Structure 1
Amino acid sequence: MKILHISDLHFPKKISLFSLRGKAIVGYLNYRLRRKSKHPLVLVAAMVDAIQNLDYDALIISGDLTNVSHPSEFQNAKDILKPILTDKTFLIPGNHDRYQKRAMGPNPLFEASFAEWIGESVHPHFYLRTKRIAGKLFVGWDSNLAIPRITANGYVPKEVVETTTKLMKEPYVLVGHHPLWNPNTEVESSTHRLSNRKEVVEGLQRNPPDVYLHGHTHTNWVKLPGKETPFTIVNSASSTRLSDRKHECGFHLIEMGKTTHYRRFIYSENKFTETNPILYEETEGIV
């Protein structure tokens, strides 16, 4: 099984300030003035081209396709991803895809835009979706909150964790947006992290996934199974950002078999090339 994992795409899109409201105005100005240059269109095109030329069984996107969840951003993301949106694709939303309350219920923009690739809902009262690709079961969570102030916290209800561990009767891959573990050098702030992740990790111990795929923190890593989190955790954020002194960006191709191999691809000299993965033991970070 070959799983290609990308995340935190933050596709560039020009938006009129008059069409925004609340914290979206501040968020968009922050994007235009600080982050836009870090996600150049040439890198976006190179990523799509690289994916089209890779051999994989499943393409997983763990959120943040947009910047402030403006309606035009969802269509823009869909247009850019069109060449690689197939029956092998599975997506979940990130906190930027839930940036505004109007991006959520009763007709969420993310679900409306990507209905073909978000799998099937398995519970009527909360976000828990599954999709089988090439015989492998993928489970998607929505850990995002539409918070009025400028924060990026997440939360996974206890019922979602319990239902996941009870219903999954076979090996599965879990996809969320927020990290469940961070290296000691990448500890998240209190306004950026999954607020109940210790409880989430404890709950998953009853029936852990083979691997947890996420984004949110714009630096790549692979955490190998440990005592507290007895499953691999892979962060492929941000797949469309230029690397710098503080951010090791790119995406992963996970080859699962009798043994698992983690291949990492980074943007260099106008194209994506393979490089060494960044591997951690659990003891080198914290839940």
Structure 2
Amino acid sequence: MANPAPRPLTESPAGAAYFTFAHLSDPHLSTPAPLPPRDWCSKRALGYLSWYRKRRFEHRAEVLAALQRDLAQTRPDHLVITGDLTHIGQPEEFAQARRWLEALGPPERVSLVPGNHDSTVAAPWGETYAQWESYLATDGETDGAARFPSLRIRHGVALIGLSTAVPSPPLLAIGRLGTEQLARLAEVLTETGNQGLFRVIYLHHAPVPGQDNWRKRLVDAPALAAVVARCGAELLLHGHNHRTREFQLETGGRPVPVFGAASASAVGAHGEPGGYCLYRIWQEHGDWQLALERRRYDHNSDSFMVAEQHRLC
């Protein structure tokens, strides 16, 4: 007898109320403007040459168009995006990305944190991240400067965004949280844990110590792991590597699942093709349940297809 077809993730377990969100990362959707003379002496010059020689052939508009068609069909309740919308963090790229975000959905349905490419060099807030402010901000935050961690609560799920995006020297792609953000994270995790919420932490760089080489690492990953071990979390999501990844963060108690996403726009000529993940969260007999569905770009059909489904808890 043939195995039954997998049930779509958007189907609810019998009688259960559930929340489904999509996690995507590293769309690198922008086209950089020609560099002004002053930028040829900055890290942006290396990034521009990388885009011109290679990256523009890998990160493709047609893959993003297929992604948007697929999201229109899977209809998640919310989108979580873990950074690197741009290539070299130009103000013009931020404007392009803002238009793309608006096409995906209103800020109430799309949560964003930045990546290292978005902070290639130090740049004025008003020319760059201010254009994404409503997608970065905590619910109800209107004072003109997004602060991290951000917190958005949807259907019993606490979406906790961290910024690891800091300018770094040429040839480095490191991330850093800093002591202040980590201290605030401990407070947010404790408060949301006391409320019985399902806590999802999302950030750009990989959060597991030793997961990446020194050039691309999250510098204070051990400190983040210590906060999570002390205060608890149910799920960690990241991007940065352009590869689907699955790890567990050991906490001394129940391990916390950690998932990395492929680039959402990759055609797959130089690595893993574009992909994203759907997560479904619900309660069963008072316990939180989690299932995922990975979707991957198929060049032949120019569409995203189911690559994997499984239930985690």
Which category of TM-score, normalised to the shorter sequence, fits these structures?
0.7 to 0.9
TM-score, structure 1 normalization: 0.86
Match of 2:67 in 1: 47
Aligned 8 A contact 1:122 1:130 in 2:
no
Which position in structure 2 is the counterpart of 1:285?
A: none
Q: How far is the alpha carbon of 1:39 from its aligned partner?
A: 1.0
User: How many pairs were matched up?
Assistant: 274
Question: Is 2:177 the counterpart of 1:156?
Answer: yes
Closer/same/farther in 2, CA of residues 20 and 236 from structure 1, 3 Å limit:
farther
Question: Which of 117, 129, 134 pairs up with 1:116?
Answer: 134
Which secondary structure state, in structure 2, belongs to the residue aligned with residue 17 of structure 1?
A: coil
For 1:137, the aligned partner's letter is: A
Q: Deviations over 1:118-142 (max 9, x none)?
A: 2226999963221223442211111
- Read off the aligned partner of 2:222 and give its amino acid letter: K
Structure 1's consecutive aligned runs of 4 or more residues displaced over 4 angstroms after TM superposition are 121-126, 224-229, 277-280
Which amino acid is the alignment partner of residue 50 of structure 1? D
Q: Structure 2 CA distance, aligned partners of 1:154 and 1:8? A: 15
Matching residue of 1:99: 120
1:263 to 257, 274, 293: 293
| TM-align CA RMSD | 2.8
Q: Which amino acid aligns with 2:292?
A: Y
The corresponding residue for 1:63 is 83
Match of 1:8 in 2: 26
Kindly provide the CA deviation profile for residues 10-37 of structure 1, in whole angstroms up to 9, marking residues without a partner as x: 0141411226611101111111101111
1:235 aligns with 2:260: yes
1:35-78 deviation line (CA, Å, top 9, x unaligned): 11111111111111111221212110110000000111111112
CA distance in 1, matches of 2:218, 2:232: 18
Deviations 1:78-114 (A, max 9, x none): 2233221222111111111111111xx453612x111
CA 1:278–1:151: 2 relative to 1, 3 Å: farther
After superposition, the Cα gap between the structure-2 partners of 1:274 and 1:17, relative to the gap in structure 1 and judged at 3 Å, is same
Computing the radius of gyration from Cα coordinates, the structure with the larger value is 2
Q: Residues of 1 paired with 2:251 and 2:160: CA distance?
A: 22
Instruction: For residue 206 of structure 1, give the secondary structure of its aligned residue in structure 2.
Output: helix
CA contact (8 A) 1:222 1:277 kept: no
Give the C-alpha shift of residue 147 in structure 1: 1.7
* Cα separation, 1, equivalents of 2:32 and 2:115: 20
Quote the Cα distance in structure 1 between the aligned partners of 2:64 and 2:37.
25
Percent identity over paired residues: 21
CA distance in 2, matches of 1:12, 1:181: 29
Q: Which residue of the partner structure matches residue 151 of structure 2?
A: 130
Give the counterpart letter for 1:51 in structure 2. L
Which residue of the partner structure matches residue 178 of structure 1? Answer: 205
- Structure 1: how far apart are the matches of 2:38 and 2:295? 35
Q: Is the 8 A contact 1:52 1:84 kept in 2?
A: no
Measured after TM superposition, the shift of residue 275 of structure 1 is 1.0
Q: Is the 8 A contact 1:9 1:65 kept in 2?
A: yes
Distance 1:114 1:125, change over 3 A: closer
2:3 is aligned to none
Distance (Å, rounded) in 2 between the aligned partners of 1:225 and 1:127: 22
